[in-house]
């Protein structure tokens, strides 16, 4: 389902960041099925193997190894270096009397609100900005991540 970058949160936002960075994304079951088929396992063997493992969205690393999608939007050790590398600017602001963060990428000039992202958490605003500027205004997010991906 297509979701506007400004509404992404939690795992859906992290998934969209990984996609924007060009990571190969899959689910654990899809990846395990591919490997099992390459190994010549029968459908019953594959089904038995898949039943033993939780299905989750993952980044594919190395030799078809599933890895957890990095927590770019709340882990400062993962998100901040990425924000700096992508030249995302962050500025504290007040929104309805509450502290928040406004983020934009280098080179954005003007007042067009589409290019600015504001959120109480600086990394959420920064990662939304990264997704918007790398993957576009809307990004396809897997249906099962939609509930986790969209803020109210």
In tens digits, the chain (152 residues) has pLDDT values of 899 999 998 889 999 999 999 988 888 888 888 888 999 999 999 999 899 888 888 888 766 666 788 899 999 999 999 999 999 999 999 999 999 999 988 776 555 656 789 999 999 999 999 999 999 889 998 888 876 545 54
Coil, strand or helix at 7: helix
What's residue 148's pLDDT? 53
- What CA–CA distance (Å, rounded) separates 25 from 140? 12
- What CA–CA distance (Å, rounded) separates 37 from 107? 48
């Amino acid at each position: 389902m297509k979701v506007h970058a400004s509404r992404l949160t939690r795992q859906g936002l992290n998934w969209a960041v990984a996609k924007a960075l060009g990571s190969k994304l899959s689910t654990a079951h899809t990846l395990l099925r591919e490997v099992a088929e390459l190994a010549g396992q029968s459908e019953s063997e594959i089904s038995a193997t898949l039943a033993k493992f939780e299905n989750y969205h993952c980044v594919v690393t190395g030799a078809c190894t599933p890895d957890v999608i990095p927590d770019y939007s709340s882990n400062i050790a993962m998100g901040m270096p990425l924000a700096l590398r992508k030249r995302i600017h962050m500025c504290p602001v007040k929104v309805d009397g509450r502290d928040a963060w406004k983020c934009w990428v280098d080179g954005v000039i003007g007042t067009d609100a589409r290019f600015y992202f504001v959120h109480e958490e600086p990394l959420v605003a920064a990662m939304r900005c990264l997704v918007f500027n790398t993957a576009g205004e809307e990004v396809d997010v897997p249906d099962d991540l939609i509930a986790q991906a969209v803020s109210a």
